[in-house]
Chain A
Amino acid sequence: MSRPAYPALVWERAVLETKEFVRSRDQMIFIFAFPIIFLVLFGAILGGAEIGAGVNFTEYFLAGMIATGILNTGFQSLAIGIAIDRDNDVLKRLYGTPLPASAFFAGKVLHVLMVSIVQIALLLAVGALAYGINLPTDPDRWITFAWVFLLGTAASTLLGIGASSLPKTGRAASAIITPIVLVLQFISGVFFVFTQLPTWLQNFAELFPLKWLAQGMRSVFLPEEFAELEARMSWEHSTIAIMLVVWLVLGSILALTTFRWQRAGDR
């Protein structure tokens, strides 16, 4: 008998995680409905206001919600979920099996990718049907989408795995992780137009990945002319790629160095 192939293990884990995710209704509703509720809410409150270059706030916000959805699924939900799994000895049990740690992580990334694709498809469908937002037809735009999406998801997921070791208990996880995401959403051009923030706050936000993820998504879904209205009058694709790769590397280091299979004090 041969040992299970690595890709088969990753797939096995991703399918299992997705099965559990679909069955935990409240988590699924949070992940899928939350961005849509926000889109509808912000659309109703600020929707018609034009930002410039023929772009209204709903369109700007849609790109931001896609970006933050990736962070919510990959970073927030994952970090909290892993912290709870650690508390319940789920991770300890996995550590006792021959499953390689990297296959466990890769399975998480693949699971987050599958969930995020559904989440984005739902958001785009609501955007297109309810707000008449035109989806890009240029294949170059979709290529941009693909790499921003993949890099953003991978970085968020690995940061989520790393951050899952910050809270001491699963119960504390939500209280520690959620504010980080909330602050980033306010300063990264999701809830507010980025260029309307004070310069010092813009500079601060530029250190973190969500700002770049949101800008990357705007470069996919907003008209080319809008690039002029960005902070540096350009989409800055190369800076986006560099920043996301930097956070991907940081996330990998964090995940590999801080990740714990067991509760603190249980070793």
Chain B
Amino acid sequence: MTGLRKTYGSKHAVDGLDLTIKTGEVFALLGPNGAGKSTTVEILEGYRKRNAGDVTVLGVDPAHPTREWRERLGIMLQSTSSVTLLTAREAIAHTARLYPNPRNVDEVIAEVGLEEKADARANTLSGGQRRRLDVALAVIGRPELVFLDEPTTGFDPEARRQFWRLIETLRDGGTTILLTTHYLDEAEYLADRVAVIANGSLVALDTPKGLRRRAENSTVSWTDAAGHQSVATTTPTAVVRDLLAKHKGEIPDLEVRNPSLEDVYLELIGQADADLADAISQKAQA
């Protein structure tokens, strides 16, 4: 997968993105609802047409999908597959027969944890089970590149862990994975690199570790006579030393919190929102 850049729609759902996703990596598109994650992914999947930019997915322009290209892709849409009258096994076996070199049906059923429900009609499966069916349908064709659009929304914690293990298995097999999510822990756990997008623009592109390092301020908080206090600082040790000097004995409710990925994320998103507000007010003035 080589470089891609696109703008889309009159309201700029995606406003000039530059991204390169490397073969074999797990890449997460992270952003709030309406940030343009799904629009971006659906352009890459060949569902939506872009208005500008050059996009190549596995060497092919996704605006002109071919059968050969489709054979190398696996797609899990954001919407859960509809209730069909087929059993999970029938649906997976049918999809397998559309590909030149599909994976073993039973093996994939076991991998997504649907063995017990394999012969139940899809309309008797729970939402989470149908989501697992969706994963199975996305990987049955032995794809080189898999798109997973908010794959774990609505999962319970156990199901999410299980899903993560499945993604790790896929990655270990050499599959490139592009994942959208608004769960930070998911991006942190799974992704080799994370792109944070807001209002259709890229606001950060880094490894989860690198993103975390962007946080400058730790938070020191405690309670004194005046009530609850909180200080953001790059030198938390110095702050604590000062506090020790001022207090005799225990400092009530003392807490030193290192910046979390969430802090970085919220700051990035907030920044993007502030920039947008500025741009709008400037436009209004002009």
Do A and B share a complex?
yes
Give B65's nearest chain A residue, CB to CB.
A95
Residues of chain B with a CB closer than 8 A to A23's CB: 85, 121
Asked if B154 is at the interface (CB within 8 A of a chain A CB), the reply is no
Asked if B247 is at the interface (CB within 8 A of a chain A CB), the reply is no
Asked if A232 is at the interface (CB within 8 A of a chain B CB), the reply is no
Count of residues in A whose CB is under 8 Å from the partner chain: 26
Contacting pair B86 A19 (CB below 8 A): yes
B47 interface neighbour in A4, A98, A262, Cβ under 8 Å: A262
Contacting pair A16 B82 (CB below 8 A): no
Asked if B5 is at the interface (CB within 8 A of a chain A CB), the reply is no
Give B73's nearest chain A residue, CB to CB.
A96
Q: State the majority secondary structure of interface residues on B.
A: loop
**Contact residues of B between 37 and 54, Cβ < 8 Å to A:** 45-49
How far apart are the CA atoms of A257 and B45 in the complex, in Å? 22
Contacting pair B100 A1 (CB below 8 A): yes
B8 to chain A, nearest CB (A): 11
Contacting pair B47 A90 (CB below 8 A): no
* A12 with B81, Cβ < 8 A, contacts A4-B100, A98-B71 known: no
Give A96's nearest chain B residue, CB to CB.
B75
A91 to chain B, nearest CB (A): 11
Q: State the majority secondary structure of interface residues on A.
A: loop
Contacting pair B98 A98 (CB below 8 A): yes
B79 interface neighbour in A2, A89, A97, A100, Cβ under 8 Å: A89
* A20 with B85, Cβ < 8 A, contacts A4-B98, A93-B137 known: yes
B: which residues have CB within 8 A of A?
A: 45-49, 67-68, 70-71, 73, 75, 77, 79, 81-82, 84-86, 90, 94-95, 97-101, 121, 137, 141
Taking A93-B77, A96-B75, A98-B100 as known contacts, 15 extra A-B pairs with beta carbons closer than 8 A to each other, sorted by chain A number, are A3-B71, A3-B99, A9-B98, A20-B86, A23-B121, A24-B85, A88-B82, A92-B77, A93-B81, A97-B70, A97-B98, A97-B99, A98-B67, A98-B68, A267-B48
Q: Mind listing 20 A-B residue pairs with CB under 8 Å? A: A1-B100, A3-B100, A4-B97, A4-B98, A4-B99, A9-B98, A12-B98, A19-B86, A19-B90, A23-B121, A89-B81, A97-B95, A97-B98, A97-B99, A97-B141, A98-B70, A99-B98, A100-B67, A267-B47, A267-B49
